[in-house]
Structure 1
């Protein structure tokens, strides 16, 4: 900006801004050089860490569906019940087989005891003794097999009552009452709200820096910043979008966050040196951006600057100032002051 434009700006400030009180004084702040992080803003999606589809582990007909879509369930709640007639019959058969095997074991044990006593007196051959011992071992094996069959039959019976593996919400129901199901067939889908995370797709040109920095800020639409935990980078890019997936663990699920919500994810991707001044030091009039800088005679002089990003109560300066220069952080106090050096003053800077 030329001197004439700056002079006009200074005069406009004198006309517009109110006159200062005697109690007001000029406050100075140095131009500080500090690095600034360049970030990329991306859209992320909240998803549940625990989300699964429960499938049938035995065959049967659906006889009860106590829950529906969007219902809340606690861990261990019944969500599907199958007809258990066939499973109960198999369990009864298995238990009867155990009783039969135990009876056979008792008979084999008695036979072995008799043969062993006679064998010790050398009244039977070694062959008869071995046959009695083998019969006893076979009877013991039949008992073990029968008991294992009981355990399996009991397990198949338990499979007719499907319970929730964790507390959460039902998201989809794949069967209806009266349908026949087989092992592996999907029954109920659900998710838990206790553990949530944010998933975002990162363009490949930012992947290396983001992986080194391992920092990200997640913000809701209302401006609230969410606390995040572990960060996971997928070790491969998507074949369709050529982006890398980034996953952030959320540390504060509090009932207001739900899977499918959109969030803003700010990821640092570069670092550069920059100059900073208090945001209150900036003088704005139309397209003009300027600050009052103290000259060699300790007089404030208006100088045009080019600004960058703002961070809190600080403003980045791209050009027009140097590190260590003193700027007026409360420029309104200069209006009407004898300390004000306008651009046309001969005592100030050129």
Structure 2
């Protein structure tokens, strides 16, 4: 009887020592043990995922890296908005770019950044972000100073624009493109504000050829970040 009582006390003591505590807030994704199974220090008990923040890899054009800021010891990274569609509802969370990954996405030769998602589970009653699901990520880019927005249709051979100068003559300019959008580009060199950019087709462009504006169109439109181009035709 004494031996049994001693064994019971030892078992109870061992049981109090089997409480496992994670060093971070987490939830169990999968378990690898069964009731009554003997464990060793090398035994995998469960797979956990931290719940304070999630990480997501985001593919971006290589050219976009110049406007995306990764977190450093001195400054936070670019802000992000993460969205996930669940039925008729949209889950939204805030995040931050924490670093740029060193390799390209093998599927599309895109650069990759790592985004930290804050509070992925939300508050009580909120729908949580689901691990392994696809999300939409909007990255807040750094401002581009002194940029002029030019319609993409005005771009020739990927880097040139046609300008109608003060003498109504054609100038062919090479421009520096800082950012590309589906319907426009942001130019930081090769073009000045208030210059007229030709957006109509010129079959055989020759420098210094005379141009005229289309009937009913203004002679010029201000070259500013909102609308920098005027339409012209030979």
Q: TM-score range with shorter-chain normalisation?
A: 0.3 to 0.5
Question: Which has the higher relative contact order, 1 or 2, with Cα contacts under 8 A spaced 6 or more apart?
Answer: 1
Q: Choose between structure 1 and 2: higher helix proportion.
A: 1
TM score, norm. by length of structure 2: 0.41
The structure having more radius of gyration, on CA atoms, is 1
